[in-house]
Structure 1
Amino acid sequence: MALCLLLARWCRAHGHRLVAMTVDHGLRADSAAEAGRVSGWLAARGIEHEILTWRGVKPVSGLQAAARSARFALLTDRAASLGARGLFLAHHVQDQAETMVMRLARGSGPDGLAGIRSRQMRDGIPVLRPLLPVPPGSLRAHCLAEGQVWVEDPSNRDRRFERVRVRQQGKGMTDAGLDAARLNRLAQAFGRLRDWSEIRLADFLIEFGDLDPRGFVTLSLSAVLNLPLPLRVKLLSGLLQSIGGLDYPPRAERMSRFLSWLDDGHGARTTLGGCLVWRGRDDRLWIARETPRETGPEMLCGQGMSRWDGRFDVSWSGVQPVWIHMLARKGERRLRLSGSMGKPGLALPVGVRASLPAVTDLDGRLFAPHLSDTWTSLRPLEAGLFHIEFRPAVPWVANAFRASRDDRAATND
């Protein structure tokens, strides 16, 4: 509520539209009523408000993580459909401190100890947390000064959740010298280290990598092996996460086995994090999406943008539905038999071609948008009806790779 009031004042002063969004997870009987109450409060202040509902079966275990992923998906999807220039979240300094304690307890590395990011890209939307340095007491005081009441979430007192247990031990941590302000300063120090490493890896990718917009990458293997181990782990785990369409990078023990495979030179290929990795000719390391045994199709019905395989934004504006799926070996054979496989497609390794997206229509025609002239009949796809863009939820190296050195130099100047 405090963030909403502050943003409303700023947006009115600068001529921007503000849309407040509440996610109703449907986990408590009174959650819908609470969201409706917020709508009433904001309507009285002339603030536009929407309620987004998490539907479907809720998991028994890992509930908070699943709810967080669902919440992000609902918020970023709606922000994208609104054409929003930013999604603002209200994390404060106590949230940062609790995150630091949990990550310290788990033995997180430097990136984990950088804590919550004040700015990041998520599903192509800039996510900003302007209140991250602010104590929650100051935010409550602002609401009181504005005559605004708020809702306290009962789940914030549920000791089944790790964050709640950490929060309730706050006095003991403060007595031990680990207050929120000190933990926040620690996060900022590790954050500067994280920023340095991402700039370094962005430069590395520009010089030694080829990031293909069709969703795969090639790297100089010798250059990768010459990176200091922490940077090598950060680079490869980030690439695997993005190309595999995952919410999180591979676990540490699996990364350790992968790095051993990379070092010893035994075995031409391996899999990790939903990716197929292999050593190619001329000192090249290839990373592409692994083709699962089951590659069931997903229907597109012309209802705006949707996410496919955790990697691509796709839209279809035709009258009849189509199905999107991985091309796989069977689809490639159909294209070859029809004579519609374009020459650009032949230059790609089979491991890449199999993972590319393909579309099938009601007539059974097959179309691979990243290959040329690939309809399995003479009638081409109607122009403008289908659009696809590789946009991983968590971009490679926090999106730093997108800018060239010249672009960053101009920005810094």
Structure 2
Amino acid sequence: MIGEAVSENATESPEAAAAKFLGSLRKPAHILVAVSGGSDSIGLLVMLADCLKTFPHPEITLSAATIDHGLRPESAAEAVVVAALCSRLGITHVTRRWEGDKPRSGLMAAAREARYELLADATADLGANVIVTAHTLDDQLETLAMRGARLADGEPGVGTGIADAVLFDRRIWVIRPLLACRRDNIRAYLTNREISWIDDPSNDDPHYERVRTRKYLATLKNLPTVPVYAGAARAAISAAAADWLESHVIIHAAALAEIRTPGLDADSAVLAYALSNLTAVLGGQSFGLGRERLRRILDFIGERSPGRRTSGGVVFDLRSSGLYMMRESRGIEPLVLAPGEHGVWDGRFEIVNGGATSVRVEPSGNGGATALATTLPKAAVYRAGAVLPHIIHLGGQTSLGAGTIVHVAPYFAPFDRFLTRFDLCFANRLAISFGRKPYLQPPLSGLLTENASVGADYLGKGHA
């Protein structure tokens, strides 16, 4: 299965990985390969092209895109080199440039956002329906090592590392077919084909954490291993949490989660996963609660003593009837949208201004309680209602439900920009609970089913 490599002796040949990916892809398919010019991406492009020549798939089209981040003087010329290679291979190629001012801090994260945005736009222009990137086992080991270094002494786990399939912006799946392959084997393949690649000097710059980690790993006699069932176990917990959500949780007005008391006695791993992600969604945060804050909330719930706690921007209101979760009222900034603009307000609602005048979005305050059922606890109703979006037309005022000029929809901060296939089951169940459409399914056959069954076996052996 894609991305489930374990260690050095469990690697996959790049050629086999490319062939397996093409065989598992749902047809018809138009693949957009993200090609920087480095050995990994050039190798992925060439191997896919070679596979399609050796084992033709008439319903598969191959294109390529290079993202010029404009961060180095050589980047434009490197994109030209990639375009020339694509021309020789008979592959359509486009270059997209990251325009505008670059941030002074968080540059790598901003570049990643821009890269995927530009790649997604390119798929729309070319008619592609899947993006592939050339992340390797080396990248995976570096990622896990970096995450492990950030953990406190004795703190367990480093997560799943790089996911083998990620849905970007709810519109296009990004697949990483080479996660079980070593970079040296990709380079050997290219050398045998007499195809060169470009070495980015930033890959040797110790200013970057990943470069420092790469150099450290190079000194080790035995490389660390990738957890065998990390992704499969995560997918299984996601599926179990989806069942828990369906059985025990009601979402009111996209602002108040009501969790019935029996649901609080669920398996600890499932409850932790579900509450962490619910907190992120209701609090408008891209990430769930950290381990220590999550532990404190679980301890609070476990005591079964009615009361309130606040964490991650969410109020946890525990009562004899169950747990009620809602956004706290502090730190909510207004959002102003010009005609035709769209944006995300407070990380929780996507607002589209389809009118002819600008609008401001702000908390509803006392007036928002009317959107929730009066049978719910009064304090929870007023807290949840107060943080619902209220639309003010600059030059006139209207309520949230007046007409279709301004469109308001729930937004899931931890999932709507980058959703790993490990979290897809839970995210889809959450979408149904909030009255949204399910997410786009991965364009691969058998991947989720296979991993879910492996993960279920793993959890059944007591590894949760």
Does the alignment reach a TM-score above 0.5? yes
Residue aligning to 2:386: 354
1:102-122 per-residue CA deviation (whole Å, 9 max, x = no partner) reads: 233334877634322112334
Which amino acid is 2:179 matched to?
L
Residue aligning to 1:378: none
Identity fraction in percent: 27
1:215-267 per-residue CA deviation (whole Å, 9 max, x = no partner) reads: 5532224422x234333322211222233232322222222333333334567
Please state how far the C-alpha of 1:77 moved relative to its aligned partner: 6.8
CA distance in 2 between counterparts of 1:70 and 1:146 reads 32
CA distance in 2 between counterparts of 1:84 and 1:390 reads 28
Q: TM-score, normalised by structure 2?
A: 0.67
Q: Does 1:261 align with 2:297?
A: no
The counterpart of 2:142, out of the listed 74, 84, 98, is 98
5+ residue gaps in structure 1?
A: 369-373, 376-380
CA distance in 2 between counterparts of 1:77 and 1:243 reads 29
CA distance in 1 between counterparts of 2:141 and 2:190 reads 22
Secondary structure, aligned partner of 1:247: coil
| Distance change in 2, residues 1:204/1:151 (3 Å) | same
**1:213·1:390 contact (CA, 8 Å) conserved in 2?**
no
1:8-49 per-residue CA deviation (whole Å, 9 max, x = no partner) reads: 675994445656444444443444444455445445644242
**Aligned pairs for 1:353-392 within 5 A:** 353-368=385-400, 374-375=401-402, 381=403, 383=404, 385-392=405-412
**2:357·2:393 contact (CA, 8 Å) conserved in 1?**
yes
1:175-205 per-residue CA deviation (whole Å, 9 max, x = no partner) reads: 1x326xxx24x2x322232222222212211
Residue aligning to 1:326: 362
CA distance in 1 between counterparts of 2:414 and 2:295 reads 22
Q: How many residue pairs were aligned?
A: 379
Secondary structure, aligned partner of 1:166: helix
**1:20·1:48 contact (CA, 8 Å) conserved in 2?**
yes
CA distance in 2 between counterparts of 1:128 and 1:76 reads 13
Residue aligning to 1:278: 317
**Aligned pairs for 1:21-100 within 5 A:** 21-35=65-79, 37-39=81-83, 41-42=85-86, 45-53=90-98, 55-60=100-105, 62-72=106-116, 75=119, 85-100=129-144
Residue aligning to 1:158: 205
CA distance in 2 between counterparts of 1:80 and 1:325 reads 30
Please state how far the C-alpha of 1:94 moved relative to its aligned partner: 0.8
**Aligned pairs for 1:102-181 within 5 A:** 102-107=146-151, 112-124=158-170, 125-144=172-191, 148-173=195-220, 175=221, 177-178=222-223
| Distance change in 2, residues 1:18/1:315 (3 Å) | farther
**2:353·2:359 contact (CA, 8 Å) conserved in 1?**
no
Q: TM-score, normalised by structure 1?
A: 0.74
Which amino acid is 1:349 matched to?
V
Secondary structure, aligned partner of 1:178: coil
5+ residue gaps in structure 2?
A: 1-41, 433-437, 451-464
The counterpart of 2:277, out of the listed 238, 250, 270, is 238
Q: Does 1:315 align with 2:347?
A: no
Residue aligning to 1:191: 231
Please state how far the C-alpha of 1:329 moved relative to its aligned partner: 0.9
| Distance change in 2, residues 1:105/1:362 (3 Å) | closer
CA distance in 2 between counterparts of 1:120 and 1:288 reads 28
Point out which structure has higher relative CO (alpha carbons under 8 A, 6+ apart). Answer: 2
| Distance change in 2, residues 1:350/1:86 (3 Å) | farther
CA-atom RMSD in angstroms: 4.1
1:90-135 per-residue CA deviation (whole Å, 9 max, x = no partner) reads: 2111111112222333348776343221123343243321111122
